Amino acid sequence: MLFLLFLAGTITTLQTINKTTTNLTSLLALHKVEVIRQKLVINVQTVQSNLYTAGTSFGKELDMIVDNVLELDDTAQTCTDCHHVPLVEKEILNLQELIRHYKDALSYFITSTADAQRIKRLQVFAADIGDKILKNSQWMAMTANNSLRKKTTSAMAEVAGSKKILIGTLAISFFLGILISIYFIRSITKPIEELLGATRQIKSGELQYQIEKKLPDEFGELATSFNEMAASIQDQYKLLQKTERLAVVGELAAGMAHEIKNPMAGIKVAMEVLDHDSPLGQEDKAVLHRVIKEIDRITALLKGLLNYARPPKPEMHSLDINQILDTSINSAQYALQNPKNKSSESKQQIKIVKDLNPDIPSIVADPSQLQQVFLNLLLNAVDAISSGSEEQGIITVQSRQSSKESVEIIISDNGKGIDSQSLGEIFKPFFTTKHQGTGLGLAITKRLVEQHKGGSIIASNNPEGKGITFTINLPVESES
């Protein structure tokens, strides 16, 4: 708008200047015509006076008369150089015709050698033509003078009007420029004040503050980015609080591990001695077995809590992921064959299917931590299948190269699966769907995977609706 305003002002100014210049040029041309026509009148009067005084003591030389006649003819010819209205053009042509007759009459008069009466008649004839020329030229000079006066008055009026238009255009442009500048300043300062106020709110600790006011143009995008930044800061702050709580939990877990594990170990040993050496009945020994089992559960909970809060630092080695998977699968199969796990027939029907790509590259990881991760996922799959349907359970383990920078391990089962709402919570500590679970197994698994730079783990339900799939991505060993 500002550009169009100045463009319109510039065009108006140029048109005004062009119009004024045209008027002044026209006035100059009219003045030039006026001078020519006045010169024409003077030439006619000069020739006429020379003609009347010819042959007397006041008369001029014939050569001078001839020169004046030629100058008169040249002056008359210049009258046709300009544009004229039809009436004036007709008079100019008539004047040029009279001047030709006038030249011829003067020529006869000057060159005549006849008697005095004939010379007198030629003189009178030439003088009559000269009077007509003088009358015609005076009429033209008067007409030009009147036209010049009107044109001058009109041109000066237009110049004055152009001056007013020019001044008005400049004044309007000036005030509109001020108004537009004020509008621009306000349209910039108000959103900036809103953003500045929002930053002060964030600075004062109100991390949940959002810019509710809809800001115009790019400031709206900036406000949206600011709100996203504030939400991100709030999330990071919550994550920091969670990390601090985990640090406290780690300290507490370390203390609990030392303060509780030793007494619990003593209690467990005492219970086992009573179980083997005391002459208790079968019902009493069943109570002792339940106590020992609960002691093992408490010890496992303390160990899992300590591993989650203070996980050991990984010791990185170059390794073949397929070998780690084979070892983990063998350990899981041994656990299935253990007499403790043969109480349920469904567990005896579980089959582990391997689909390992032999061409995947080596990775850099901690082998013991990865074995713990894979074994934990395999045993979870066994538990999910055991509590699911009666059909044969299948656990599929796959390895493949997902990109140049990472390999992918997929562990899936055909168990009962998990609902979509709980699917996003399974990696949180103390969340479990098992009756006897601690809720730390998958949380520890996620932390161990993410300790490997670029490592990630995600869970998803199978498309056919049975079972769950865990997908692990681990970085490939770099050339350096």
Q: Could you report the per-residue pLDDT of 169-184, keeping only the tens digit for each?
A: 778 878 888 888 888 8
What pLDDT score does 435 carry? 64
pLDDT higher than 70, residue 65: no
Are 305 and 318 part of one and the same domain? Answer: no
Are 356 and 258 part of one and the same domain? Answer: no
Band (471; pLDDT cuts 50, 70, 90):
very high
**DSSP tag of 320:** -
Whether 156 is in a domain gets the answer yes
pLDDT digits (tens, 9 = 90+) for 297-338: 777 777 766 666 666 677 888 888 899 899 888 888 877 765
Whether 205 is in a domain gets the answer no
Q: What is the C-alpha to C-alpha distance for residues 428 and 445, in angstroms, rounded to an integer? A: 11
Q: What is the C-alpha to C-alpha distance for residues 125 and 118, in angstroms, rounded to an integer? A: 10
**Number of compact structural domains in the chain:** 3
Band (280; pLDDT cuts 50, 70, 90):
confident
Are 298 and 412 part of one and the same domain? Answer: no
Contacting residues for 266 by C-beta, under 8 A, at least 6 apart = none
Q: Which of 109-113, 116-120, 255-259, 340-344 has the lowest mean pLDDT?
A: 340-344
| Helix (H) or strand (E) run with residue 310 in it | none
**Residue with more model confidence, 179 or 53:** 179
What pLDDT score does 113 carry? 57
Q: Record the pTM.
A: 0.45
Q: What is the C-alpha to C-alpha distance for residues 149 and 143, in angstroms, rounded to an integer? A: 10
Are 365 and 292 part of one and the same domain? Answer: no
Structure token pair of residue 11: 């065009």
CATH number, domain at 26? 1.20.120.1730
Whether 296 is in a domain gets the answer yes
Cα distances (angstroms) measured from residue 66 to each of 45, 104, 105, 126? 14, 11, 12, 13
Are 159 and 10 part of one and the same domain? Answer: yes
Q: Where are the alpha helices (DSSP H) in 387-458?
A: 420-423, 441-450
Hey, which residues does 461 pair with through a beta bridge? Answer: 468
What pLDDT score does 348 carry? 47
Are 273 and 334 part of one and the same domain? Answer: no
Q: Which of 292, 310, 328 is the last residue of a domain?
A: 310
Which phi and psi (to 5°) does residue 468 adopt?
-135, 155
Mean pLDDT of 15-23: 78
How many beta carbons lie within 10 A of that of residue 370, not counting itself? 25
CATH number, domain at 294? 1.20.58
Are 231 and 322 part of one and the same domain? Answer: no
Average pLDDT over all residues of the chain:
77
What pLDDT score does 339 carry? 47
Are 42 and 150 part of one and the same domain? Answer: yes
Q: Which of 21-35, 179-193, 354-368 has the lowest mean pLDDT?
A: 21-35
Structure token pair of residue 322: 């397929």
Angle between helices 86-111 and 62-78 (to 10 degrees): 160
Hey, which residues does 399 pair with through a beta bridge? Answer: 356, 409
Amino acid identity at 371:
Q
**DSSP tag of 476:** B
Q: Which of 310, 341, 376 is the last residue of a domain?
A: 310
Whether 191 is in a domain gets the answer no
Amino acid identity at 126:
A
Secondary structure of residue 318 in the 3-state scheme: strand
What pLDDT score does 306 carry? 67
Whether 195 is in a domain gets the answer no
pLDDT digits (tens, 9 = 90+) for 229-251: 888 888 888 888 877 776 776 67
Q: Which domain holds residue 258?
A: 227-310
Q: What is the C-alpha to C-alpha distance for residues 271 and 278, in angstroms, rounded to an integer? A: 10
Are 277 and 350 part of one and the same domain? Answer: no
Mean pLDDT of 11-20: 80
Band (351; pLDDT cuts 50, 70, 90):
confident
Closest by CA position to 367, among listed 322, 337, 335: 322
CATH number, domain at 439? 3.30.565.10
Whether 206 is in a domain gets the answer no
Any idea what the Cα angle at residue 458 is, between residues 457 and 464, rounded to 5°?
140
Angle between helices 86-111 and 116-203 (to 10 degrees): 150
Q: What would the DSSP string read from start to end of 38-93?
A: HHHHHHHHHHHHHHHTTTSTTPPPHHHHHHHHHHHHHHHHHGGGS---HHHHHHHH
pLDDT digits (tens, 9 = 90+) for 379-431: 888 888 876 556 678 889 999 988 888 899 999 988 877 887 778 788 887 77
Q: What is the C-alpha to C-alpha distance for residues 137 and 134, in angstroms, rounded to an integer? A: 5
Query: Judging by beta carbons within 10 Å of its beta carbon (0-12, 13-18, 19+), is residue 426 exposed, middle or buried?
Result: buried
Q: What is the C-alpha to C-alpha distance for residues 138 and 235, in angstroms, rounded to an integer? A: 102
Mean pLDDT of 201-218: 82
Are 398 and 301 part of one and the same domain? Answer: no
Cβ 100 vs Cβ 126: under 8 Å: no
Are 26 and 102 part of one and the same domain? Answer: yes
Are 274 and 321 part of one and the same domain? Answer: no
Half-sphere exposure of 426 (CA within 13 A, CB side): 23
Contacting residues for 152 by C-beta, under 8 A, at least 6 apart = 27, 30
Give CA 469 to chain center in angstroms.
41
The dihedral region occupied by 430, where left means phi > 0, alpha psi between -120 and 50, and beta the remainder, is left
